[in-house]
Structure formats: C-alpha cells, structure tokens
Chains A and B, each alone.
Chain A
Amino acid sequence: MADPIHQFEINKIATLGHIGGHEIAFTNSALFMAITVVGIWALLVGGSSRRALVPGRMQSIAELSYEFVANTIQSTAGKEGMKFFPFVFTLFMFILMANMIGIVPYTFTVTSHIIITAMLAIMVFLTVIVYGFYRNGLKFFRLFVPSGIPIYILPLIVFIEVLSFLSRPISHSVRLFANMLAGHITLKVLAGFITMMIGSLGIVGWLGAVLPLGMVVAITALEVLVAFLQAYVFAILTCIYLNDAIHPGH
C-alpha cells in the first residue's frame, strides 16, 4: 500500500548554500511556492491585462477575488481595515492557490507544512501587535480588559483574554495545516485501498474498488471546498484580528 505520508516529503532539487549551519536548498516545496506565485500572477495580472469593460472568464475571477476579499475586510474590520487589503489579499490568494494546486495529483501542498502556516499566522500576529501599539499606544491593552466586568473577576478575565490572544497564532496556523494534512492523507489512504483491492483480490477486487473510488471522488470534491474554506477562514480570522488592532476594547 502506498505510504500516505510520502506526499508530504520535501525533496531537494538543488542545494544552494548554508545559512548558520542550515542547508538552504531549492526543494519541491520551493518549486510549488513559485508555481503558486506565478499562478496568482497569471490569474490576477494576466487575467486583467485586457482591462475589458465587460470582463472575460479570467478577469471575472480576478475581479471576484478582489471584491470578495475587499468585502470581507470591510464587513469585519471596517473602512480602516482596507489599508491591510494588499496583505489580506496576498494571504488569501497564496493559501487558496497553494491549497488548490495541492489537490492536483502528484503535486506538493505547500500549506500542508506547519512551518509555512505558522509563518503565515505569525505574520498576522505580529502585524496585529505592531499596528495595535502603533495606532493605539498603551490603549491597545484595553483589548484584554473587557468593559463592564466586576472588578473581582477581572484578573481572571484578563488572564483568559491574554491567553486566548497568545494562542491565536497556534490555532490560526494549526487549523490550516491540519485540514490540509488530514484531507490529503484521507485521499491517499482511500486511493491506496483501490490499488490494494485490485492487486490482491482480482476480479472481486475490481468490483470492491468501486466503493473507495467513489469516496475518493467525493472527498476530492470536499477537499476543493475545504481548500477554499480554509483560505477564507484564514483571511476572515486575519480580518477579525486586525479589527482588534484597529479598534481595541470590546
């Protein structure tokens, strides 16, 4: 049976050098990051190159993604959140494109590695902290002190608020990582059943393989949904966190 973990392995294509004792290599992960960037560039910049008044297919997708992210920011973080539009748009498109490319067989899913999703989440986390203090100064700490709380339980509430704030990057990154990882493992395991049945049971196996094949098809469709949904969830959580930086205090 095919190893379901095999697809997450990172393979060196070329070693480029070392930084502080760490080997820096051009890997399949790097290759697919580049494909992701080029794909987004082709979609957004190439798709809108005709600047048509009545958009074609590609331009429609570019405009839809633009409006979708813009509306998401405006509905969660208000007009002021629009200064983070390039950042959120970049995050959303990167995750969406990486997830979608990852569904294609034989590709590598960039977002199935915790280090990448952690970096995405830490960027958001640091942006919230830096912008929160830059815009609000020490009033940013009001984020941890909800108003209208009796003084005797306030320490507990503040402790919980701080804890939940600090755990944000973890949940933010693990959610995306785990969804991608689990989905791809599920697909691989079910696909493995097909080859296993055919290989060991002959004609009965051919018939029996129909069930896992149907499930692979269904779960692939589900994975397309999950790929979009996780990008959306990541983006909307980013907007909600940025809203905390813009308007601290509940």
Chain B
Amino acid sequence: MATSARTEVPGGKPQFPPFNKETFASQLVWFAIAFVALYLIISKLAIPRIGGIMAARSGQIEGDLAEANRLKAQSDAAIAAYEKALADARGRAQTLAAETRERLNAEAEVRRKKLEAELAEKLLAAEKTIAATKLAAMSNVRTIAAETTAAIVERLIGSTPAPAVVDAAVADVLKR
C-alpha cells in the first residue's frame, strides 16, 4: 500500500495506528454494520440450514436403522414361519406314513387270515380224500388178500375154499 500516508497527529509525529483515535469512528461504524450483517447471516441463514442438514442426517440414519430393524424382524418372522411349516409338514408326513403303514398291515393281516382259512379248508378236504382213499385202498387190500388167499389155497389143495372161510382167515390175519 504505497499510497498510504502515515496518519499524522497535529504534532507531526507518526502515531501507532491501533491507537489513532481518528480512525475509531469509521472502524466502529463499519464494525457495527459488519457484525450485524454477519449476525443476521449466521442466525437467519447458516444456523437453521446447517442445523437442518444435521438433523435431517441423524433423522435419516435413525430412520434407516429402524427400517433395517423392521426388515430384520420381518426376515426373522419369515424364517420362523418357514421352520414351523417345515416341522408341520414333517409331522404330517409322519402321521400319513404311520396311517398308511397301519392300513397296509391290517389289509395284509386280513388277506393272510383269509388265505390261512382257505388253506386250512383245503388241508381238511385233502385229509378227508386221503382218509377215503386209504379206506378204499384198505378195503381193496382185504378183497385182494381174500382173492389171493383163495387162489393160493386153490393151488395148494386143488379146491376152492368157501369165501366165508377165506374172509374170516384174512380178517384174523389183518387183526394181528
């Protein structure tokens, strides 16, 4: 600032600028203007805006956290519901399997009993047939024995014995 002239007091001696009273009035006026303007800028513009930004930010963070918590609770609930459904399904499947098993078992039992009864019946019939056959065979044996005896006796003695005697003899032998 080459153009500046050192403020001179009437005595002509240079004065220390901060203590030069001649400049006080100007400084005070401009300081008052500047400070009031700055106060208005800060209190009316800067503080509401910066405070608003920071409040909006903390609000946003809180909101996001709440949203995250809500979503987490939602997914937890979904997991619980899924697990419950899985357990239910498993239980139902087990019931179904047990029921089916019982039903099939019962059916099989019925069939088995029926089959057994049939078999028993057949067995009985067969036994009867065997008995009948045996009886018939036995009677045939008697007849054959009597005829054979008669024939043997005829060869031996040359005369046919009386059938009654043969029968009695065969019966006597068979009884032993």
Name A's B-contacting residues (CB within 8 A).
5-6, 8-11, 19, 22-30, 33-34, 36-37, 40-41, 44-45, 48, 51-53, 55, 59, 62-63, 66-67, 85-87, 89-90, 93-94, 106, 112-116, 119, 123, 177, 181
Interface size on B, residues (CB 8 A): 41
Q: Let me know if B30 and A30 touch, CB within 8 A.
A: yes
Most chain A CB inside 10 Å of its own CB: which residue of B7, B43, B49: B49
Closest A residue, CB atoms, query B32: A119
Q: Which residues of A contact B159 (CB under 8 A)?
A: none
What are 29 contact pairs spanning A and B, CB under 8 A?
A5-B16, A8-B18, A9-B1, A9-B4, A10-B17, A10-B23, A23-B26, A24-B29, A26-B26, A26-B30, A28-B1, A29-B26, A30-B27, A33-B30, A37-B37, A37-B38, A37-B41, A44-B45, A44-B46, A51-B53, A66-B47, A86-B39, A86-B43, A90-B42, A112-B18, A115-B24, A115-B27, A115-B28, A119-B35
CB distance from B100 to the nearest CB of A (A): 62
- Whether A40 contacts B24 by the Cβ 8 Å rule is no
Q: Mark B127-167, 1 if CB is under 8 A from A, else 0.
A: 00000000000000000000000000000000000000000
- List residues of chain B with CB within 8 A of the CB of A25: 26
Given contacts A53-B60, A62-B50, contact A29 B37 (CB under 8 A): no
B26 near A94: Cβ-Cβ < 8 Å: no
Residues of B that sit less than 8 Å from A by CB: 1, 3-4, 6-7, 16-20, 22-31, 33-35, 37-39, 41-43, 45-47, 49-54, 56-57, 60
Smallest beta-carbon distance B13→chain A, Å? 13
Query: Given A90-B38, A90-B43, are A66 and B51 also a contact pair (CB < 8 Å)?
Result: yes
Distance of A25 Cα from B20 Cα, bound (Å): 14
Q: Which residue of A lies closest to B24 (CB)?
A: A115
In this complex, which of B35, B45, B57 has the most chain A Cβ atoms within 10 angstroms of its Cβ? B35
Q: How many A-B residue pairs have CB under 8 A?
A: 145
Closest partner residue, chain B, to A22 (CB atom): B25
Task: Give which listed residue, A10, A53, A59, contacts B26 with CB less than 8 A.
Answer: A10
Indicate which residue in B25, B53, B60 contacts A19 across the interface (CB closer than 8 Å): B25
CB distance from B64 to the nearest CB of A (A): 11
A-side contacts of B28, CB under 8 Å: 115, 119
Do the beta carbons of B46 and A45 come within 8 Å of each other?
yes
Query: Nearest residue in B to A52 (C-beta to C-beta)?
Result: B53
Evaluate contact between A44 and B26: CB separation under 8 angstroms.
Answer: no
**Neighbouring B residues of A115 by C-beta, 8 Å:** 18, 23-24, 27-28, 31
Given contacts A9-B17, A37-B37, A93-B38, are A116 and B22 in contact (CB under 8 A)? Answer: no
CA distance A33 to B26 in the complex (A): 12
Which A residues lie within 8 Å of B26 (CB)? 10, 22-27, 29-30
Contact partners of B7 in chain A: CB under 8 A: 9-10
Contact across chains for A86 and B42 when beta carbons are under 8 A apart: yes
Cβ–Cβ < 8 Å partners of B24 in chain A: 22, 115
Q: Is A53's CB under 8 angstroms from B23's CB?
A: no
Distance (whole angstroms) from the CB of B61 to the closest CB of chain A = 9
Distance in angstroms from B155 CB to nearest chain A CB is 138
Name 11 extra pairs, CB < 8 A, besides A40-B42, A66-B50, A115-B28: A6-B1, A22-B24, A25-B26, A63-B53, A86-B47, A90-B39, A106-B1, A112-B18, A113-B18, A115-B18, A116-B31
